[in-house]
Structure 1
Amino acid sequence: MSGTPALVVIGAGPSGTGLIERIAANAPDLYGDHPLTIHLVDPHPPGGGRIWRHGQSPLLWMNSRAEDVTMFTDDTVRMAGPVRPGPALNTWAAEVRSGRAALPEGARADTGLRDGIGTLADDGFPGRRVQGAYLRWVYERAVAALPQRVTVHWHRGSAVRVSGSREGRQRVWLAGHGTPLLADAVVLAVGHLEAEPEPEHVELADFARRHGLLHLPPDFTADTDLDAVPAGEPVLVRGFGLAFVDLMVLLTEGRGGRHADGAYLPSGREPVLYVGSRRGVPYHSKLGYGWHGEKPPLPRFFGPDRIEALLKADKPLDFRRDVWPHIDKELGHAHYHRLFTAHPERTTGRRADFEERYAAAEPGGAELAALVAAAVPDPADRLDLDAIDRPLRGVRHPSHEALQKAMRGYVTADLARRHDPAHSPDLAVFLGLLSVHGQLTRLGDVGDWWHGFFGFLASGPPGPRLHQLLALSRAGIVRFLGAGTTVDTDERRGLFLAGSTTVPGPRTAARTLIEARLPGPALERTRSPLLQELYAEGAAVTAGGLLAVDPDTGHVLWSDGRPHRRRFALGPYTSARTGAVFTRPRTGGPAFRQNDATARAALTFLRDLA
């Protein structure tokens, strides 16, 4: 080939930034002193991208503690490339406060941002704009670390199409531009994208139009226009995860209310939020204590050997039948290891004997259950993942008021448990979940159930947000609907109706319905013209509708099973999605491994091409 090789990276958020960091780390050894042009395409500034951009409400927080967020690798990451350490978010904030690190230029005039960094504790939950500033700093540091003959150009816009054969140069077409970017390789590092509505939402939107109602479909909450949500009226909310937490904040504090001394002081402009979901409860609170003592050895029953065995199976994998029993055993191992080592007074028999028999028992079998029952006298100390997944299964309340009181008790108990080291096996299970998640990326698309369960147990809101939820419930601003929430329409009255399996009796009527969750990542319904074109061109998709990629390199797989050697993809719409947005230090984050593998595969291809 002639001229300087070119790599186009579509998406400048955390995935694109992490990829640039890995290119900078690997280029000296893999690429030498060859020239390379990197084109970075995103309508939002590099670093934060859309989700972590500066231009969003300062009321919105990260969902992780500052000490639990890093964009830099360490020696726990199993990857081929070199480790390039760097500060976690809390350390970076301390360096900004001391003057050892500078805020990105565009953020220096924001006094609220500087105040947020100035008061940020290691175990505090930073605002999203603080995280955006950190990501911008990481991006600038990564670009500065690139070899001298590697240059980066940011194109402020959206990529709408990639064309080109496996053998030839690729053309990346940008919205509003008649001339494409020429690329020898392309990495799609786009994040959460808009999607066409599901059939149910189409029907609900049509009903809303005919009756003058408001239906807000799944969306990133910070981008949703909430001005039309009426004050003082009941509003049905379907979804009790992190999107609901953002919605709750924007429709209460965002409308002038405030929290003081455990009470909520309304402004009078709030709606009344009736919230429900399949589980009927909010995600579990973030754990409020650190680790002390011996950690469980992970992975133990769900490691690379188990993944290899599953990949070699002579029949299609069924997650609940073939994979889940081994995950259940792995998480139980973490739980009981901690119980025996930190709380031995709540166990019977010798730990070594228990562990030997536990290892020999079949996953999910009666022998394992009997062993646990004999060694752990109190049922409350046993791990029951099915009960955790559906805490309101079989629960019935005689009235809505009884449900409100019971739900406040549930949330209060969850907060107490998640901040009490006497329940430290919960933290061991959390570490087990991280380990399992890192292994699952090699299996590809395992379905939505696992990601929902992982988020419910391991990626819940900060404790202070649940305290705010309790205050809003006591103030009558938030009302709980219960589990198994369903929404119907009343043509005669022109209203949405919501009910649940938890409370019998009249259904709650409202003129507004909000779907509090992100759109699904399936390619069949994406509104991204870039991914629509990729799908139409013949890219392979999984049974769940995700873009199929090689888990070891990130190459996009084609419908004939072959990888497209010039195209790579990272993100939640791919079969190698990692779930967690950011990595805790020293947890061997799978996102780092994926970024490193993709960077190395792209650099090797471009080097050989040159």
Structure 2
Amino acid sequence: MTELVIVGAGPRGTGLLERIAANAAELLPADRPLAIHLVDPYPPGAGRIWRHDQSPLLRMNSMAEDVTMFTDERSTLDGPVRPGPSLAEWAPRQEEFAPYREVADPAVRAELRTLAPTDFPTRRAQSAYLDWVFRRAVAELPAHVTVTVHRDTVHRIEGPADGPQTVRLGDRTLAADHVVLTLGHLDSVPHPRYAADARFAARHGRFHLPPAYSADAADDLAALAPGEHVVLRGLGLASVDLVALLTEGRGGRFEPTGDGPALRYLPSGREPVLHLGSRRGVPYHSKTGYRLQGPPAPLPRYFDEAAVDAVLATGGQLELRRDFWPLMAKEIAFGHYHELFHAHPGRTALPWPEFLARYDRHAWYSPELAALVAEAVPDPADRIDFERLDHPLAGLELGTDEELQAHLRGYVTADADRRADPAHSADLGAFLALLSLFGRLPRVVASGRLTARSLAEEVDEWFFGYFSFLASGPPGFRLRQLLALSEAGVVRFLGADVRIERDEASGTWRASGATVPGHHVTATALVEAYLPKHALARTLDPVLGELHRTGRIVEEVVTDPDYTHRSGLVTIAAGDSRLLDPALGGAPHPRRTALGPHTSLRAAAAFARPRTDAPGFRQNDAAARALLRALAALPAAAPALAACAR
């Protein structure tokens, strides 16, 4: 019996299992039985982040039709494509998809029955979908492959590179021919930048919350008193979740005003006063609530494999903004203008073939391209302007706090209106082109050609932050709710370039923004409204921590004469995702693999939009095929490595 241990049974582990099932018939002979052990303290399929046990107020930021765990006709894989339903296709017709099991929670059952393709589901609905995907993957394994789930935590992995591995759980030991770490989103000891505020809070009996996953932070928020002034640093998804938990989660209600989509907030009286600020000073753009109005753009066109090859063929070190961003920006704008010209031709002044022929000829930053766009797209509101999008409050100075609140309410209203109006579907065209970049971005990073500073400041900081701001925001109704909370005085905006200082005399924080010079607010609580960023040197995951302490994994560190970048990610081989092991001279470990957001292969989400040739699915397929080949090649006489309880 050959043994495989997969540590982490959430969406990434489930996706790997699905690919093992898809490839086993080809790569694992029937006379080589395989026992798979999945280890996770949380439910298989959903894992920690998507577990059912969380507030029903917490939502996905994707529409139901945009969530799938399955490959399709657009997937470019070496293994077989195994189509399956998206969340939207599965939810109302669960009985048609084996293996069927009724969802236990009646509230989730009711949601799934009425879930529309363009709804933004609760995370508990996604939990039910992931549970079914896991059970389907298990059911599709061939008869000589078995699965055992261990609701436990792995603390240590030991063993030689050329022999069996010992996997130590809380109360037992598993032996394995190969171990895969699909650990998902992980926690770390808070970054030192938060230590001073934590000590300040402890000295003065105040509340400070470091970055945390919303479902895990819900109990901590109970310490915030009604009416207490709280600063939330960050205006992304974590902030949106925390605001929901501190308002609706405390008994407040939203009701229609009768004036279009506008809402009114009816406080419960238990809410704190929330002061929201960030570097940009505005919430993430909401997701669009409509579909493309024209045909999909043929992507990629400018940032394709040939274009990446051409840049990589140049000499010297490369920078993302200088060498790749012009191609990436032109790709995004192509998606935008393709939709504008095809779906809304009345707002354009040239035929599409003429525009495209001239667009092809000019570089992104050239005056000729700018002149072409100005000629062909008369209304500036229909043109894409990346700098304006990135810095919406740049250069704005207002005289009073009330002017700031009014300005931000106007900005949020305009954004919510635009993202709900199919007349602006060019924004969705740009979003889809932006998503397409991730098909080639991992290759750019893995090439080793980017300078350390570019990788740190332009990839890990700027690009992923910009992507999240433009494309990974909340559902539109969350912005309507934020407006209602602002009008009710429960939420106050701080503006751009927020600064937070500690006042030892009063034991309070003073928060200010650059948009209203000289204005500040005083708060007795500070919440870092960001999702945690995993850092290997500070990891709270026991098995990664042990492997790091014993020198068997290595943090991705990129160094050049001018800069050193420590990404906090675990370094893996680009081709098959095996862990690089310092004890083997930095070579891939033959019996250890890792997949997921804690690894150096960036931009590979565990689930994806249908028909986008998702990089995560390609990575899962490559890793599964490499695993099966390695397991099938083991000597037939090797001793069985059965799980043994202690």
Q: TM-score, normalised by structure 2?
A: 0.90
2:269 & 2:185 partners in 1: Cα distance? 34
Q: 1:486 and 1:197, CA in 2 relative to 1: closer, same or farther beyond 3 A? A: same
C-alpha separation between the residues in 2 aligned to 1:582 and 1:241? 20
**Equivalent residue number for residue 332 of structure 2:** 331
User: CA 1:468–1:580 in 2, change beyond 3 Å: closer, same or farther?
Assistant: farther
Shift of 1:279: 1.1
Q: 1:504 is aligned with what amino acid?
A: P
Matches of 1:419 and 1:248 in 2, distance apart?
22
Q: Which residue of 1 aligns with 2:207?
A: 214
Task: Give the 5 Å matches for 1:1-20.
Answer: 4-20=1-17
Matches within 5 A, 1:125-524: 125-174=120-169, 176-177=170-171, 179-224=172-217, 225-261=220-256, 262-444=263-445, 446-524=459-537
Instruction: Note if contact 1:73-1:86 (Cα within 8 Å) is conserved in structure 2.
Output: yes
For 1:348, the aligned partner's letter is: A
Structure 1 residue 567 corresponds to structure 2 residue 564: no
Distance 1:514 1:101, change over 3 A: same
How many Å apart are 1:102 and its aligned residue? Answer: 6.8
- Whether the 8 Å contact between 2:596 and 2:605 is mirrored in structure 1 is no
Quote the Cα distance in structure 2 between the aligned partners of 1:549 and 1:57. Answer: 35
* 8 A Cα contact 1:66 1:126, kept in partner: yes
* 3-state SS of paired residue (2:286): coil
Matched residue, 2:29: 32
With over 3 angstroms needed to count, the CA separation of the structure-2 counterparts of 1:315 and 1:104, relative to structure 1, is: farther
Code of the residue aligned with 1:556 in structure 2: it is L
Cα distance, 1:553–1:311 mapped onto 2, change above 3 Å: farther
Partner residue, 1:601: 626
Where does 1:101-112 land on structure 2 (aligned, <5 Å)? 104=101, 107-108=103-104, 110-112=105-107
Structure 1 gaps of 5+ residues are none
Q: Which amino acid aligns with 1:18?
A: G
Q: Is 1:556 aligned with 2:579? A: yes
Report deviation, 1:549: 2.0
Aligned-partner Cα distance in 2 for 1:317–1:167: 38
Give the CA deviation at 1:551. Answer: 2.8
Asked if the contact 2:7–2:181 (Cα under 8 Å) also holds between the matched residues in 1, the reply is yes
Q: Paired residue for 2:260?
A: none
Contact 1:8–1:183 (CA under 8 A) maintained in structure 2: yes
**How many Å apart are 1:236 and its aligned residue?**
0.3
* Distance change >3 Å, CA 239–CA 368, structure 1 → 2: same
1:484 is paired with a residue whose SS is coil
- Amino acid corresponding to residue 539 of structure 1 in structure 2: I
Q: Report if aligned partners of 1:242, 1:460 keep a CA contact under 8 Å in 2.
A: yes
| Conserved? CA contact 2:596–2:606, under 8 Å | no
Superposed CA deviations along residues 60-113 of structure 1, whole A, max 9, x for unmatched, are 1111111111111101111111111111111111113x67667646x42x2212
Percent of aligned pairs with the same residue? 54
Deviation track 1:106-155 (CA, whole Å, cap 9, x = no partner) reads x42x2212122122122112111111011011101110110111111111
CA contact (8 A) 2:606 2:617 kept: no
Q: CA deviation at 1:580?
A: 4.2
Once residues 185 and 572 of structure 2 are traced to their aligned partners in structure 1, the CA distance between those partners, rounded to angstroms, is 17
1:568 is displaced (CA, Å) by 1.4
Give the aligned partner of residue 560 of structure 2: none
Amino acid at match of 1:58: P
Q: What does the per-residue CA deviation read over 1:344-370, in whole Å, with 9 as the maximum and x for residues that have no partner?
A: 333334433332232222333333323
| Equivalent residues of 2:92, 2:114 under 8 A apart | no
- Point out the more displaced range, 316-325 or 85-94: 316-325
Once the two structures are superposed, residues 152-205 of structure 1 have per-residue CA deviations (whole angstroms, 9 ceiling, x without a partner) of 11111111222223222222222x33x532111111111111112222201110
- Alignment partners' CA distance in 1, 2:367 and 2:571: 37
Q: 1: distance between equivalents of 2:573 and 2:423?
A: 43
Secondary structure, aligned partner of 2:76: coil
Out of 92, 95, 99, the residue aligned to residue 93 of structure 2 is 95
Question: Secondary structure in 1 aligned to 2:299?
Answer: coil
Identify the residue that residue 539 of structure 1 maps to in structure 2: 553
CA distances 1:428-449 after superposition (whole Å, capped 9, x unpaired): 1011011102221223363132
Ranges in structure 2 where 5+ consecutive residues have no aligned partner: 257-262, 446-454, 558-564, 636-646
Q: Match of 2:125, SS?
A: helix
Instruction: Give the Cα–Cα distance (whole angstroms) in 2 for the partners of residues 149 and 314 of structure 1.
Output: 51
CA distance in 1, matches of 2:205, 2:349: 64
- Give the whole-Å Cα distance in 1 for the aligned partners of 2:508 and 2:97: 58
Letter in 1 for 2:84: G
Show CA shifts across 1:232-257 (max 9, x none). Answer: 11100011111111101111111111
1:159 partner SS:
coil
Q: Is the 8 A contact 1:92 1:101 kept in 2?
A: no
- Which residue does the alignment assign to 2:613? 588
Q: Secondary structure at the match of 2:221?
A: coil
What is the Cα deviation at residue 557 of structure 1?
A: 2.6
Q: Deviations over 1:395-428 (max 9, x none)?
A: 1221111111111111111111112222121111
Cα distance in 2, alignment partners of residues 441 and 507 from structure 1:
42
Q: Letter of the aligned partner of 2:55 in structure 1? A: S
One-letter amino acid of the counterpart of residue 184, structure 2: G
Aligned length in residues: 602
Q: Using the alignment, how far apart are the partners of 1:74 and 1:12 within structure 2?
A: 23
Matched residue SS, 1:227: helix
Q: 1:577 to 1:147 in 2, by over 3 A?
A: same
- 2:360 is aligned with what amino acid? A
* Alpha-carbon separation, structure 2, partners of 1:168 and 1:317: 40
Q: Supply the distance in 1 between the matched residues of 2:429 and 2:364 (Cα, whole angstroms).
A: 19
In structure 2, the residue corresponding to 1:603 is in which secondary structure?
helix
Q: 1:207 to 1:397 in 2, by over 3 A?
A: same
RMSD: 1.8
Larger CA deviation: 530-539 vs 285-294: 530-539
Bigger CA drift: 311-320 or 204-213?
A: 311-320
Q: Distance in 2 between matches of 1:539 and 1:383?
A: 43
Partner of residue 561, structure 2: none
| 2:139 matches 1:116 | no
Query: What residue number does 2:449 align with?
Result: none
The aligned residue for residue 77 of structure 1 is: 75
* Partner Cα separation in structure 2 for residue 57 and residue 400 of structure 1: 33
- Tell me if the contact between 1:523 and 1:546 (Cα under 8 Å) persists in the aligned partners: yes
User: In the alignment, is the contact (CA less than 8 A) between 1:451 and 1:579 conserved in 2?
Assistant: no
